[in-house]
Amino acid sequence: MPAYSTTLGEHSPAAVVAGILGLLRGETAPSASLEWVTLCTGSARCIPACPEGVNPMLMLRVARIKALGSLGDTAQMALPEDPHYFRKVHAFANMHFTDAEIDAWQR
């Protein structure tokens, strides 16, 4: 996704991908590889383009999970989370649905 990065295009694609593969093996990733992980929008254009039958979009998602330290590795990046995510869902459900609908649909 170099179009959305001011620096990613300056790096060798092979080196960026190698950093992702290293990350998947539990290694510390170079900053350019982490930037790719961060900037991946999930366009899926990479999937038909890959000649090796790899799903790079899913590979980057798993790399992100690894980089977040979610699998027990040291976290290499942070993911801003909305601490009110689920409470907002409950609030909007209460604004749009009746108690009976919530009981029947969301319990």
Q: Which residues bind to another protein, rule: CB under 8 A? A: 1, 4, 39, 41-45, 47, 53-59, 61-62, 64-65, 68-71, 79-81, 84-97, 101-102, 104-107
Minimum distance of another protein from residue 15's CB (angstroms): 19
Q: Which is nearer to another protein, 18 or 39 (CB)?
A: 39
Rounded distance between C-alpha atoms, residue 59 and residue 90, angstroms: 32
Q: CB of 70 within 8 A of CB of 94? A: no
Tokens 């039958």 found at: 53
Minimum distance of another protein from residue 87's CB (angstroms): 7
Minimum distance of another protein from residue 92's CB (angstroms): 5
Tokens 């001011």 found at: 6
Residue 30 to residues 18, 25, 80, 90, Cα–Cα distance (Å): 9, 13, 21, 40
Q: Which is nearer to another protein, 15 or 54 (CB)?
A: 54
Minimum distance of another protein from residue 33's CB (angstroms): 15
Backbone dihedral angles phi then psi of residue 100, each to the nearest 5 degrees = -65, -40
Rounded distance between C-alpha atoms, residue 80 and residue 101, angstroms: 32
Q: Which is nearer to another protein, 28 or 94 (CB)?
A: 94
